[in-house]
Amino acid sequence: MTIAPVQRSTSLGSSAWTDARLILALEEVVEKELNRHLKVAKEWMPHEFVPWSRGRDFDGVLGGEAWQSADSKVTPLGRVSLVVNLLTEDNLPSYHHEIATMFGREGAWGAWVHRWTAEEGRHGIAIRDYLLTTRAVDPVELERARMAHMSEGFESDNAHSMLQSVAYVAFQELATRISHRNTGHFAGCELADQLLAKIANDENLHMIFYRNLLKAALEIAPDQAMRAIADVVTDFRMPGHGIPGFERAAAQIALGGVYNLRIHHDDVLQPVLRHLKVMDVQGLGPEGARAQQELGVFLEGLDAQAAKFEERQAALLARRAARKQA
Ligand SMILES: [Fe+2]
Ligand SMILES: [Fe+2]
């Protein structure tokens, strides 16, 4: 199901960095960033965000009450979004496999891979406990979706390139942060908002780790790193794309303002690119300069697409509001 990292032939000449050399060259940066991460990451307890006293037995083995939609006040958008976020977190075993295969399980890289996995592990635990205790979603549907999604596994689009893998996770961790944060805002439940803010904070620290690593890569191998960034940005898709019914859920999530093209451009791509000053990198070779130019053209196009999306979104929401008043 998963492809081991392979070296792609490259047009960057014989001086090009191989993945193995890059991993070695970045080990010191990984160690420094891991230590910084461990200093700033504050311990938090997922169980404190679950209202256990509101929990009730379900039907089945314990003969409790079957789930019904009226059990919870969480908004429809909040429910859809919480489920997508949870199923995305659920696929952690596959993500762990992908990054452990790419970065290794030894030394500083290995220490990071395991620490990151431990932190990610609490996200799925906390969201599931919250959803089941508050009866926010159908537990049978949720379990079937989890089984279907995890049975598919997750195969990284970037398993052939170490630099693409680093670039992808830098953007993806921020995308996940924004998605959790906005889900909390629209969930209609203060506790869900607080829990998702905690999770979003973890994702933010993950983003900073990978972004700083990408910065170091841009200094060591600017042309290859620029190519990797351009390829990742132009081909980006969320890790949950394989979730059953993802397209429909993604459309609701976009319309509701949890995650859409405007947010992707303004709150995910641009902050990372600006922080790394990607568009201002000077002195690139022909391949790096071409990648930088491609990136610029793509971002302009994306911005225009986002503007069109916003027009459609406003029109649709206005029609809905008018229908409600009629
Ligand atoms: Fe997470
Ligand atoms: Fe994360």
CA 147 / ligand 1 centre spacing (Å):
19
- Dist. CA 203 → ligand 2 center (Å): 4
Q: How far is the CA of 206 from the centre of ligand 2 (A)?
A: 5
pLDDT at residue 325, as a whole number? 87
Which residues have CB less than 5 Å away from ligand 2 (the ion)?
A: 173, 203, 206
Whole-number Å distance, alpha carbon 99 to ligand 1 midpoint, is 14
The ligand whose atoms approach the alpha carbon of 172 most closely is: 2
- Cα–ligand 1 centroid distance for 119 (angstroms): 7
> Ligand 2 centroid to 93 CA: how many Å?
13
Residue 264 pLDDT more than 60? Answer: yes
Ligand 2 center to 153 CA (angstroms):
18
Distance, CA 20 to ligand 2 centroid (Å)?
24
Mean pLDDT of 41-70: 98
Ligand 2 center from residue 186 Cα (angstroms): 21
Separation of 23 CA from ligand 2 center, angstroms? 20
**Span from the CA of 32 to the centroid of ligand 2 (angstroms):** 19
What does the block give as tokens for 251? 């459309």
pLDDT tens-digit profile of 167-187? Answer: 999 999 999 999 999 999 999
Question: Rounded mean pLDDT of the chain?
Answer: 94
Q: What is the mean pLDDT of residues 111-134?
A: 98
Tell me what pLDDT residue 252 has.
97
pLDDT of residue 15: 65
110 touches 23 (CB < 8 A): no
Asked if residue 197 lies in contact with residue 126, where contact means CB atoms within 8 angstroms, the answer is no
Q: How many whole angstroms from 200 Cα to the centroid of ligand 2?
A: 8
- What are residue 58's phi and psi, to 5 degrees? -90, 170
- Confidence class for position 13, pLDDT limits 50, 70, 90: very low
Q: How far is the CA of 108 from the centre of ligand 1 (A)?
A: 21
Ligand 1 centroid distance, CA of 196 (Å): 10
Q: How confident is the model at residue 16 (pLDDT cuts 50, 70, 90)?
A: confident
Residue 291 has pLDDT above 50, yes or no: yes
Q: What percent of the chain has pLDDT over 90?
A: 92
| Among the bound ligands, the one closest to the CA of 179 | 1
Tell me, in angstroms, the distance from the centre of ligand 2 to residue 202's CA.
Answer: 6
pLDDT given for residue 2 in this prediction: 35
Distance 181 CA to ligand 2 centre (A): 13
Q: Taking residues 213-226, report their average pLDDT.
A: 97
Q: Residues 74-97: pLDDT tens digits?
A: 999 999 999 999 999 999 999 999
Checking if the pLDDT of 39 tops 60, the result is yes
Task: Give the model's pLDDT for residue 3.
Answer: 37
